Chain A
Amino acid sequence: MNVQNNDTPLIEVKSVSFAYGAKNTGRALNRVSFFVSRGERIAVLGHNGSGKSTLVRILGGLVSPSEGTCLVNGTDIQEMDFKELRRTIGMVFQDPENQIVAAMVEDDAAFAPENQGLPSREIQARVDSALLRVNMTHKQDSSVAALSGGEKQRLALAGVLAAKVECLILDEATAMLDPKGRLDIEQALRELHAAGMTIIQVTHQIGAENFDDIHRVIVLSHGSIKWQGTTWEFWDKAEELGFELPDEFRFRKYCENKGLSFPDDFVNVKAVLDEAANDESHSPAKFKVDDLSFRYTDKSYALRNIDAEFLSGEWLSIIGRTGSGKSTLVQHLNALYKIQEGQILFDGEALPQKGEEVHTLRQRVGLVFQHPEDQLFSPTVREELAFAPKNAGFRKQELDEAIIYGLECAGLPREFLDRSPIALSGGERRLVAIASVLSARPECVVLDEPLAGLDASYQRKILGMLGRLRDEGKTIITVTHDLDMALNYSDRILILRNAAKIREGRPHEVLEELMNVLDPEAWPDVLRISAEIRKANHDFPLVYNYQELIACISQT
């Protein structure tokens, strides 16, 4: 053990730089210095490509800095004993699947203490306590394959806690989770921090769920520290630094400025919502789903008597929990699932189920799966974009035009055509993947969680693109957990629960049903705030848009 007094920071980063490869073509990190004290909880904020992943790997002793030093408990991390280092710093990464090594829950949680060479009884005690701390005790005998995404990430966290580390580094650890999963992790972190754990959270955005718990924020941009300060100071600077504040905080700030206290001052607000121009859409139905049912081999229903219409020139969002039948429904639209019962009309004609007609259908109805960037396979973007139109029979000039069309829809410059998809950033790969479906010029585009895991700037790009495609007259269908997107961007919402349709309607018509179907943690901040005001004041309308909320309040 090294000399440790409480004045030595737990981690001290001294002028650390890092460059990938031999050529000094731009550094991933450039003279970064900061320190982390014992028991602190800090956030390192940065957009994609800011160097935060590199910083994580350096802090974890997984790569050595090109210049500078990183001290842990006063010792250079490079000279530290491997086992000692692993007992000090634990890391949780983005994808839970890539951190779990064993097929059974307890076996995985035991991995780190087994590596430390502890006696069996101590290992079991560590496993039990770690699973308890992440609230996973009830799953101890379960197989990993049977866990949800959020449960897997909590298991990954338990696997690190079992090593009895002093400091946790989380690299975008909640980015792939649904709202419930995210909240469960936050809950576990809050308790760990209260028990004295030092936590460094590396992320591209601070959510409302952990804003109050974080002491200090370090903003990383292009490999350098752009700003650092307390969370409260960050609050005022956030927009200037290029980060969006959660609506809940914008609202708190608003109340603070106006001297209002929430929710007491809103009891007597009488607000009327400006009814949005409620012109009934006259556009023709692209798809008419009629009494569609689908059963799995074990006879349980994936879809039950679904009726729905998807219109041309309309953006529809399908909302429901995992397993509600959303993806089964949309995969019927291009015949990836064959119709068992009921029927689907496409432009008034029965949806083809086999033969060459299915290929024509798949050209007309494009499906973008979740994380579509994982499906890229071509050496160049040009070939990637050519795949779908070529399969659809586009040749020569028609094909070239299709490629350019896809590229322009996604807002990518021509230079991209000769680049390799693998060499692009995550956000760029997502755009290329979407473009590779659009290049076949589909009339209808279905996207499963198109914004998942992207930072705000790429999210805006994709939202803009979908809006433009809708205005071109295409049918846009998004399958999502993201209520902010569904409410603020799509024209209509279809709600599914347990394989059945609950409601279909314009965003403001379906708010109550949405709140019934989804847990409060999945509600957008504004909706939650208005629901809370409404509890005390029945005249207050349910709203989901921040401007609308403010407009309702200022009507008094």
Chain B
Amino acid sequence: MYFTNVNLGQYIPTGSFIHRLDPRAKLFSLLLIISAIFPSKGVIALGFWTALLVLAVHVSKISWRIVLRASRPVMFLVIFTLVFNMIAASWGGNLGRGIRTSFFMASRLLVLMMFAVLLPLTTAPLELADGLDALLSPLARVGFPAHESAMMIGMALRFIPLLMQETDKIMRAQLSRGARLDQGNIFQRVKAFFPVLIPLFIIIFRRADDIAVAMEARGYEGGEGRTRRKPLVWKMTDSLVLVMCAVISGVSFIL
């Protein structure tokens, strides 16, 4: 496959403790964790967070193979950070320190990203969308399209695998017609991609049109008056997990 080895936002149901948490609790916890990891400076703090990540993956009952595969799209960012920092740091002359800092920064980013990757892996797309909907709803009062944004994210998660397949098929078809997608300089390559992009956009627009009609036919009128098959229920464990995450984040600042 040319374009289907990306596993963005693929939900893996295992029924673990993390899977059963309220999506709002997970979203909040993730926010806490990210804001704690970002400013962390020491190797100890990083080791601490790595240990927690290992624990979280273990509890989620999702295999490392899947977690790593799902992290593949962010690896580019990690490697970029590594190389960029290495060049920047060693510019000053101290190569040893440069390598050390850049490895530290890249690992920090990697740990952070993998926490983020765990969220869609352990949360069904609709739950995730509902969680976002709930968290964004205060903003709706100031005119922010909270429900629509959450719905959009939910739909995007549904359609990503399909669009990947479609892109793959169009690429193959155009290669068959002699398109040179992988040759020439950057401008030629971008230009060569038009025969892929244009049909893809046509398909997306046509699908969007059809989906809108199908949604209307099923009685969708926006968020107002909609109920849920599984309404979000905030449980004691959700509060506990959130408090724990807050405490852990606090502790990591001291480390």
B-binding residues in A (CB < 8 A): 57, 60, 62, 82-83, 86-87, 90-91, 93, 95, 97-104, 106-107, 110-120, 123-124, 127, 141, 143-145, 159-160, 163, 297, 331, 334, 336, 359, 362-363, 366-367, 369-370, 372, 374-377, 387-388, 390-392, 422, 436-437, 440
Contact = CB atoms under 8 A, between A and B. Distances in A.
A402 B79 CA distance: 47
B170 A123 contact: no
Contacts of A98: 207, 210-211, 214
B227 A143 contact: no
Contacts of A372: 173
Contacts of B213: 57, 62, 93
Nearest to A141: B13
Contact of B124 (A104, A116, A392): A104
A95 B177 contact: no
B215 interface: yes
A352 B165 CA distance: 26
B180 A115 contact: no
Closest 7 CB pairs of A and B: A391-B178, A86-B219, A377-B198, A98-B210, A110-B229, A367-B176, A115-B219
A123 B207 contact: no
Given A103-B158, A440-B178, A117 B199 contact: no
Interface in B168-224: 169-170, 172-180, 194-195, 198-199, 202-203, 207, 210-211, 213-221
Contacts of A144: 158
A284 B78 CA distance: 55
Given A143-B11, A377-B194, A115 B176 contact: no
A102 B219 contact: no
A82 B173 CA distance: 43
Nearest to A123: B229
B96 interface: no
A160 B198 CA distance: 33
B231 interface: yes
A432 to B, nearest CB: 13
A422 B227 CA distance: 40
B176 A120 contact: no
Contact of B207 (A97, A112, A370, A436): A97
Contact of B126 (A99, A104, A116): A104
Given A62-B213, A86-B218, 15 more contacts: A86-B217, A91-B214, A91-B217, A93-B214, A99-B210, A99-B214, A102-B125, A107-B229, A120-B228, A145-B162, A336-B176, A367-B173, A372-B173, A374-B166, A375-B170
8 contacts: A57-B213, A99-B210, A113-B229, A123-B229, A331-B172, A336-B175, A366-B177, A377-B195
Contact of B199 (A100, A366, A376, A437): A376
Contacts of B98: none
A104 B194 CA distance: 33
Contacts of B154: 101-103
A98 B214 CA distance: 7
Contact of A160 (B175, B177, B218): B218
A95 B210 contact: yes
A106 B180 contact: no
A376 B196 CA distance: 9
Contacts of B199: 374-377
B117 to A, nearest CB: 17
Interface string B120-131: 000011100000
B157 A103 contact: yes
Contacts of B231: 120
A391 B215 CA distance: 42
Given A103-B158, A145-B162, A112 B227 contact: no
B226 interface: yes
A376 B177 CA distance: 11
Interface in B218-251: 218-221, 225-231
A172 to B, nearest CB: 12
B125 to A, nearest CB: 4
A366 B176 contact: yes
A145 B161 contact: yes
Residue with the highest number of chain A CB atoms closer than 10 Å, among B158, B175, B229: B229
B54 interface: no
A155 to B, nearest CB: 12
A90 B217 contact: yes
A4 B172 CA distance: 56
B186 to A, nearest CB: 19
Contacts of B210: 93, 95, 98-99
Contacts of B220: 111, 115
Given A57-B213, A117-B225, A359 B178 contact: yes
Residue with the highest number of chain B CB atoms closer than 10 Å, among A93, A111, A359: A111
Nearest to A94: B210
A374 B216 contact: no
B88 interface: no
A297 to B, nearest CB: 8
B83 interface: no
A404 to B, nearest CB: 18
Residue with the highest number of chain A CB atoms closer than 10 Å, among B155, B157, B210, B219: B219
Contacts of B218: 86, 90, 99, 111-112, 115, 159-160, 163
